[in-house]
């Protein structure tokens, strides 16, 4: 992965590309982040913010909150619990389908995320099902990269961290895998306590947790991470009548439409939000 670092704007230096490894190295040396549990060898997928990193992160979070919540009268903030009621995730479908597929080496026991293993070998995964993954592994004779051993059939693996609540382990709850569901479960609380009327939004900043099979790419795929999220609620009968739409109708964005993706186009198109609504891309 290569990132473009724009230094010319501030330092009079020329623009050059840096690799993710270089950026990682810089962040570690300068005290932005440290691998968590480093003195014990580290725990994959977890990072601690260092002295500079925590200041940078707080600035971003505070500015986001000020801009999207404090300066708007149609926005309400919440800060939900991290250990969450299991029924929340049954209702959302996460218990049933928030899964990845793993394959296990029958010789050395190493576990791999099946689609990552295939993609790393340059094999395209057209459909994320156990049958397709199994077929591709057999067709391409994919073996364990570590020892060359045979791989198991793909197995379902739920990405939620479960946690036993109470001394007698009577309730199995989950560390929330996203912040959105806490917003949905608090919708009525916000409406009744604050007298919120449509359209309005509920915002939340907080930690989310996913038991990634193969955390990687530095801070881009973690097992513990922070989300900044807004769910905005509108009257479905008045979708074309949002009083704030005029503020953003002229905003140009990169749009990768579902239709383009189905045609195999990976490049986003530039268009204004107004054009996207007019073309029926955003409904």
> Where along the sequence are the contacts to Zn ion (CB under 5 A)?
105, 107-108, 110, 144, 146-147, 149
In the complex with Zn ion, the residue whose CB is nearer, 85 or 107, is 107
In the complex with Zn ion, the residue whose CB is nearer, 144 or 183, is 144
Question: What is the smallest separation between the CB atom of 147 and Zn ion, expressed in angstroms?
Answer: 3
Question: What is the smallest separation between the CB atom of 51 and Zn ion, expressed in angstroms?
Answer: 40
Q: Buried b / exposed e across 252-281, counting CB within 10 Å, b at 16+? A: eeebebeeeeeeeeeeeeebebbbbeeeeb
255, containing H or E segment: strand 252-255
Q: Judging by beta carbons within 10 Å of its beta carbon (0-12, 13-18, 19+), is residue 97 exposed, middle or buried?
A: exposed
175, containing H or E segment: strand 171-175
Contact 201, 76 (CB under 8 A): yes
Question: What is the smallest separation between the CB atom of 175 and Zn ion, expressed in angstroms?
Answer: 30
Max Cα-Cα span within the chain = 63
Question: What is the smallest separation between the CB atom of 153 and Zn ion, expressed in angstroms?
Answer: 15
Which one, of 40, 36, 5, 6, lies nearest residue 19 by Cα? 5
In the complex with Zn ion, the residue whose CB is nearer, 144 or 202, is 144
Question: What is the smallest separation between the CB atom of 144 and Zn ion, expressed in angstroms?
Answer: 3
Report the first-to-last Cα separation within the chain, whole angstroms. Answer: 34
Q: How would you classify the pairing of strands 162-165 and 200-209?
A: unpaired
In the complex with Zn ion, the residue whose CB is nearer, 26 or 146, is 146
């Amino acid at each position: 992965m290569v990132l473009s670092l724009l230094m010319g704007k501030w330092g009079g230096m020329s623009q050059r590309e840096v690799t993710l490894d270089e950026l990682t190295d810089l962040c570690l040396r300068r005290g932005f982040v440290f691998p968590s549990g480093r003195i014990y060898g580290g725990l994959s997928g977890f990072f601690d913010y260092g002295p500079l990193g925590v200041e940078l992160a707080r600035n971003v979070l505070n500015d986001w909150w000020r801009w999207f919540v404090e300066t708007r009268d149609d926005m309400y903030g919440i800060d939900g619990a991290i250990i969450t009621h299991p029924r929340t995730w049954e209702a959302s479908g996460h218990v049933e389908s928030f899964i990845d597929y793993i394959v296990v080496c029958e010789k050395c026991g190493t576990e791999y995320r099946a689609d990552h293993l295939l993609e790393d070998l340059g094999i395209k995964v057209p459909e994320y099902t156990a049958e397709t993954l199994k077929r591709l592994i057999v067709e391409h004779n994919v073996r364990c990269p570590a020892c060359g051993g045979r791989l198991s059939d793909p197995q379902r693996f739920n990405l939620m961290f479960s946690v036993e609540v109470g001394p007698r382990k009577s309730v199995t709850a989950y560390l929330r895998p996203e912040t959105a569901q806490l917003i949905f479960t608090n919708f009525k609380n916000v409406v009744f306590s604050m007298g919120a009327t449509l359209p309005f939004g509920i915002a939340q900043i907080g930690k989310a947790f996913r038991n990634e099979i193969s955390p990687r790419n530095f801070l881009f795929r973690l097992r513990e991470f922070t989300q900044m999220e807004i769910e905005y609620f509108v009257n479905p009968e008045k979708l074309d009548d949002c009083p704030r739409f005029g503020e953003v109708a002229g905003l140009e964005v990169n749009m990768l439409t579902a239709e383009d993706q189905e045609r195999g186009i990976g490049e986003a198109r530039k268009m204004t939000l107004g054009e996207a609504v007019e073309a029926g891309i955003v409904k």
